[in-house]
Amino acid sequence: MSFSSIAVGSPFYILRRADKPTLEVGVVKSKIDRQPYGTQAAIPLAFANNNTSQNVSIVVDVNGKDVQVPDVPNNIEIASDKDGCMYSGSREAMLQAVDGMIQTSKQALEQVDYHKSVLTEGEKMLETLNPSYAEGKQQARTIKQLEERQAATDKKLDDILCAIKAMNSTKA
């Protein structure tokens, strides 16, 4: 269902793809047809796919809160804005968008081990290819070892001081 077919009272779907994706389902509260993109001074970049189409602004009631969906082309089923929110009056179009998002995430998760190995092996490769990088990495390892030794020595000294204090307090 294209945006031109949406009527007041129709269900409307909003997919927010931020840190934690959420789907909101609302009801179209109002719809205003706008002039063609070609006659407007500013074209929303996320929706600028057809300069001859009319556009529409929609207000959706989502759980008692008005959500504005400004200036979307009326000849498409689903639109997204610059913030990554997706809007549609079509449940099927939103199902496809959610499925696409899930498939993309599955593919990304399948590649996690590969990317971890790139980081590990890439460090080794950089050390092989760049002697100054290798020297810097070796210095960092040496400093870390020295810091660990110093921390262990400090702990031993603290233990010795505590033992001496305990012996002195029992003598008194």
Q: Looking at the predicted structure, is the pLDDT value of residue 40 above 80?
A: no
Range 3-90: architecture per CATH: Roll (2.30)
Q: Tell me the pTM.
A: 0.63
Domain spans in the chain, listed from the N-terminal domain onward:
3-90
Helix (H), strand (E) counts: the chain:
3, 6
Q: How confident is the model at residue 168 (pLDDT cuts 50, 70, 90)?
A: confident
How confident is the model over 57-84, as a mean pLDDT? Answer: 91
Task: Give the integer Cα–Cα distance in Å for 98 and 93.
Answer: 9
pLDDT of residue 53: 61
Please give the span between the terminal C-alpha atoms of the chain, in angstroms, as a whole number: 91
The whole-angstrom distance between residue 30's C-alpha and the CA centroid of its chain comes to: 31
Residues 105-160 pLDDT 10s? 999 999 999 999 999 999 889 989 998 888 888 899 999 999 999 999 999 999 99
Q: How confident is the model at residue 36 (pLDDT cuts 50, 70, 90)?
A: low
Task: Give the integer Cα–Cα distance in Å for 26 and 85.
Answer: 14
- Determine the 3-state secondary structure of 43 from DSSP: coil
Residues 72-105 pLDDT 10s? 998 999 999 888 899 999 999 999 999 999 999 9
Asked whether the beta carbons of 33 and 56 are under 8 A apart, the reply is yes
Task: Give the integer Cα–Cα distance in Å for 74 and 80.
Answer: 13
Sheet strand arrangement including 78-80? 65-73, 55-62, 22-34, 11-16, 86-88, 78-80
